[in-house]
Amino acid sequence: MKKITNKWVVSFGIVGALLLSACGNQSDATETSKNPDAETIVVGTGNVYQPFVYLDENNELQGYDVEILKAIDEKLDQYNFEYESMDFKNILTSLSAGKVRLAAHQYEYNDERAANYLYGEVGYTDYTLYIVHDGGQNATYQSLDDLVGKKVFASPGGNVAYLLEKYNKEHDDKIEIIYNEASSEVFVKGLQNGTADAAVLTKYDTNKYNEQFNADLQISGEPINVSKTYFLYEKGDEELKEAVDGALQELIDEGTLSKLSIDILGDDYTK
């Protein structure tokens, strides 16, 4: 197994024995792979999406997506992963510009992204989306049709925004999209005080917000989109994609991916 060269070396006590990773800080970035010919792959990630990709109080990169990539990197002796943490909106721009080779930020599939980027074929997190509202509302939302005329939170550039914008393009009656990049606490308060009538979230995020803020967010109706999350690459970067897909499938088959999800996310959200 090779050591990992990171700009921020991630340390998760709950998975340290599993990943066999070197620990340190930014000053340790001079460590090299056991394979002197390993190709450096710069991975673009976010910095505020806990617990998936974020910087902790010591400015060290942490997260479920990063731990998966570290485990993948351990299996790929021909590559050495380094990480660039940035605002979510800049990750795919950096991929387009060739500043990073791989984008990791819980990306779901959508046609617009697929036209511009190469998707991995092996998914690593369930990302089924549901309409969510505050329990104080006397409301039940079964589909996007029920959101017509309603104010709905969406992060600009995210898949929820894409789904809502696509709906509005295809229908005369519109959903009022409230683009939101606020903190999780402000997001939840916005649903509670009526700034927005609803949001679109995974079960994981809904449960997390309810526990974190003692909220009463309710999931209504059937899912509006069933998906998984994937790593993204530049068009034509098939060799890297296939190598990562192969290593990721090994993590799934050996049970490592499920264990990472349980340890970091609190349950198995890989299926």
Structure confidence at residue 182 (pLDDT): 85
Structure confidence at residue 34 (pLDDT): 64
User: For 129-142, what is each residue's pLDDT tens digit?
Assistant: 999 999 998 888 99
pLDDT-derived band at 220 (thresholds 50, 70, 90) equals confident
Q: pTM of the prediction?
A: 0.74
Write the single-letter amino acid at 202: T
Does pLDDT of 197 surpass 80?
Answer: yes
Percent of the chain with pLDDT over 70: 87
- Alpha-helix runs per DSSP H in 117-271: 159-170, 184-193, 203-213, 238-253, 256-265
> How far apart are the two ends of the chain, measured CA to CA in Å?
28
Distance CA 105, CA 127 (A): 12
Secondary structure letter of residue 121 according to DSSP = S
Q: Which helix (H) or strand (E) holds 50?
A: none
Write the single-letter amino acid at 239: E
Tell me whether residue 258 is exposed, middle or buried, using C-beta atoms within 10 angstroms of its C-beta: 0 to 12, 13 to 18, 19 or more.
middle
The domain made up of 129-225 is a member of CATH 3.30.565.10: no
pLDDT-derived band at 254 (thresholds 50, 70, 90) equals very high
User: For 150-191, what is each residue's pLDDT tens digit?
Assistant: 999 999 988 999 999 999 999 999 999 999 988 899 999 999
Does pLDDT of 22 surpass 80?
Answer: no
- Alpha-helix runs per DSSP H in 36-110: 64-75, 88-96
CA 261 to chain centre: 13
* Best CA proximity match to 92, nearest among 76, 123, 115: 115
According to CATH, where is 3.40.190.10 located in the chain? Answer: 13-125+229-265, 129-225
Rg (CA), the chain: 19
Strand 176-179, strand 151-154: pairing: parallel
Q: Which residue reads 């198995």 in tokens?
A: 268
CATH architecture of 13-125+229-265: 3-Layer(aba) Sandwich (3.40)
